[in-house]
Structure 1
């Protein structure tokens, strides 16, 4: 009887999971495996909590089909090879990914599979269209500008969704292992993880998707899908979401999903997206002011809409798409602080934080990335008046301002000296223009 191992990474679902579907179709026995890497354990309390919730739900989904989720702790390559050899598996299935960590894991796993005469099969599933399959006609390894990528992506033939296995049969004698206790996380109002909740949120979202194009920038209304954490961890299939949105003729939302794919194809050829600029010439002489950075991190800049966004981040492990743009632009284009400081802080708190979208969007805002107009700037006051005209969003997260009615709430107040000092560096608030959007499903 043939045996296969499915190494789950960021595809924590049973629906439209090509790696799991092919393993179940080709092998008599399948070992679904997740390896908890201690090297990643302390990066984000919020993401650790969300991940463990996802694993608990995935285990239930597999048990309903007669299988189980095998959990190990250690180096993912070592533990995967050990389990495969213990149970005479001939094939290991893995969803391909693009980050530097994922690429190194994949490369090492390929070497060990060759050494132990195991077959490694890589599968799609992290994006709608596989990174690297669409390339510019004039040469180049990836699209540098979104619009031509979107045109090509929109015309591409998407793969067929993989079927959901009805049964998953484990080999005899496999010890599943215990899931660690779910950590508390750092944000008290963070969303909970898992395929079950992801599917439930997607179903509810599709009922209201018709108004997305007009409402997704309404900061007070909060009409975004909030699907990004479930997409980041693969609790829901990006392809299934895109097909559902396209069927609903919600092209504005489909475009957001294309932005997600766009950054994945950039990260595939530039895995150091979090630390090195795509446009080195625009990586200017950034300031390093610990006090100004701390005020920004704590939501105490004195610019209400910036402070509201930063406090939402801490409270929910998530931030409205428009607030991400405003807060990132304030750090880089107003305070003149290094975009990498923002990447790290967002990555510390966001449950949807990943390398392609987090770093790609930060570089876009900072002018070091894929923006075709890298010197554009943003006025946070104008942004706030446009997308939170009555100040409802600001008062929701900055309780000190609840006594101020209407748009007057957006005026800067009590600017700390480190923030004033920073604002004098790149230019005053009132000189900035109002442009673009931080894109996030």
Structure 2
């Protein structure tokens, strides 16, 4: 029996493990494991996976069950420890070979090592493929050990090389339907899980939904052509492609997006917006390869730059941020949108990340974990990579720069539509005060039917003062790192000369 171990690759198009297994001529089945770590709480005390993300996953698995069924491939699921569940399957189904994609995350790497060990116990083979990125590691225009430190350097390497993404894997051939005695329960189990979930999401999960969205955005509405101008929008669904949720759990292949984009450019039009969507795919690749090269540093408190910043773990400040009660409307509207929809714009993500760390001084890993729990499009490499970028401890880091969330709101939501939608208690506030309602005098507050501290909170911090305090902490951390590096160099020189 050939076995497909599914994780963040919930599709049948451009799926090399599935294609290779079915081409072997031996019977093929597939399986997915709900790893028990996703039932755990984070360090900050909230679940790692909220209900909306879980619903999107279940929808994706339901469709995967259907799509695999059309190929004659039975699909099984399990909850628990990855290695133990795989051992059970190997024994029960007499599995001789496991096919799977490999992923850059540290937890994913541990899972893969355990699967290899479990397979070896029963003399089963394992074969891992790379397929979560547009470009494969084998075709990089540089050695993985010499990964460019910035995105601009990364992109220039590709532009200079002329390397193109490899073609999609051929669509898998059908096999004669394979009947497993307990396989029929999979669909029933998934539907039972689905019926217990009440939270609806911004979009529905599943490969066909992702492919429909791709076709709609490119060919039906051609909204891709205004992506450059629209992408900073914070309320309009069509302000961006919204393909990221399906890319994140592998319901949509990045190569399918790329080749459909190229087809659109050939048949219709190429402009700065179409190039920008390609750039977003490159950004995704960049962070995936950064994770491959940096591993644990991507998730460490010090970050890739190993800066010993003294973060606080103030639960009250974190709760105000996560629940949208900071007293700064841009932050509060963005966080309320995230909790309600499982999505927020890139502009909102950068502002909320900057505010949590550079104004509240809260441990950036708490914020990244909150995004991981709630974002439908959570991708470990992109999420943690972007957090480190904003915080100033990763690649292309912003370092001492912080966002002024009042000015950002005025610039990107000048009419206040985003704020009034998500914070209806501010709907009567004059536009000039909408992003700083605390600046109104009492008469203006009365006119707006707003009582600060009751209807809407006072600011939890002063923007300017808190940013200056963070700059001091940042500089102290940088000085400390410099001293440590100099001390290490002196010690090395001394040891070499002795």
TM-score by length of 1: 0.89
Q: Which residue among 226, 231, 240 is the counterpart of 1:224? A: 240
Offset, 1:65: 2.5
1:313-352 CA distances to partner (integer Å, 9 max, x unpaired)? 0110111111111111111122222211211211121122
- Unmatched segments (≥5 aa) in structure 2: 41-47, 439-451, 471-498
In structure 1, what is the Cα distance between the partners aligned to 2:109 and 2:129? 14
Q: Which residue among 216, 229, 254 is the counterpart of 1:238? A: 254
Q: Which residue among 426, 434, 437 is the counterpart of 2:467? A: 426
66-75 or 289-298: which moved more? 66-75
Contact 2:233 2:345 in 1 (8 A): no
Offset, 1:96: 0.8
Asked if residue 211 in structure 1 is aligned to residue 226 in structure 2, the reply is: yes
Q: What's 1:98 paired with?
A: 104
In structure 2, what is the Cα distance between the partners aligned to 1:24 and 1:120? 15
Contact 1:62 1:168 in 2 (8 A): no
Q: 1:421 to 1:99 in 2, by over 3 A?
A: same
Q: What's 1:269 paired with?
A: 293
Offset, 1:389: 1.3
Q: Which residue among 412, 422, 438 is the counterpart of 1:397? A: 422
Q: Helix, strand or coil for the counterpart of 1:329? A: helix
Q: Helix, strand or coil for the counterpart of 2:31? A: strand
Offset, 1:9: 0.6
1:11-65 CA distances to partner (integer Å, 9 max, x unpaired)? 0011111111111112331111112222323521222221111111111111223
Q: 1:307 to 1:132 in 2, by over 3 A?
A: farther
Q: Helix, strand or coil for the counterpart of 2:98? A: strand
| Mapping of residues 163-312 of structure 1, within 5 Å | 163-169=170-176, 171-176=178-183, 177-178=185-186, 179-180=189-190, 181-182=193-194, 188-206=200-218, 207-222=222-237, 223-247=239-263, 248=265, 249=270, 250-272=274-296, 273-312=298-337
Q: 1:187 to 1:346 in 2, by over 3 A?
A: farther
103-112 or 153-162: which moved more? 153-162
| Mapping of residues 60-75 of structure 1, within 5 Å | 60-75=66-81
Q: What's 2:365 paired with?
A: 340
Q: 1:169 to 1:142 in 2, by over 3 A?
A: farther
In structure 2, what is the Cα distance between the partners aligned to 1:300 and 1:169? 57
Q: Which residue among 41, 44, 53 is the counterpart of 2:49? A: 44
- Unmatched segments (≥5 aa) in structure 1: 430-441
Q: Which residue among 6, 18, 27 is the counterpart of 1:29? A: 27
Q: What's 2:490 paired with?
A: none
Q: Helix, strand or coil for the counterpart of 2:28? A: strand
Report the aligned-residue RMSD: 2.5
Asked if residue 319 in structure 1 is aligned to residue 338 in structure 2, the reply is: no
**Which structure has the larger Rg over C-alpha atoms?**
2
64-73 or 351-360: which moved more? 64-73
Q: What's 1:12 paired with?
A: 10
Q: Helix, strand or coil for the counterpart of 2:421? A: helix
1:118-143 CA distances to partner (integer Å, 9 max, x unpaired)? 22111122111235753657x84423
TM-score by length of 2: 0.79
Asked if residue 158 in structure 1 is aligned to residue 173 in structure 2, the reply is: no
Q: Helix, strand or coil for the counterpart of 2:460? A: helix
| Mapping of residues 338-417 of structure 1, within 5 Å | 338-413=363-438, 414=452
Q: Helix, strand or coil for the counterpart of 1:182? A: helix
Bigger share in helix: 2
241-250 or 229-238: which moved more? 241-250
In structure 2, what is the Cα distance between the partners aligned to 1:187 and 1:350? 14
Q: Helix, strand or coil for the counterpart of 2:467? A: coil
Q: What's 1:436 paired with?
A: none
**Paired residues, what number?**
426
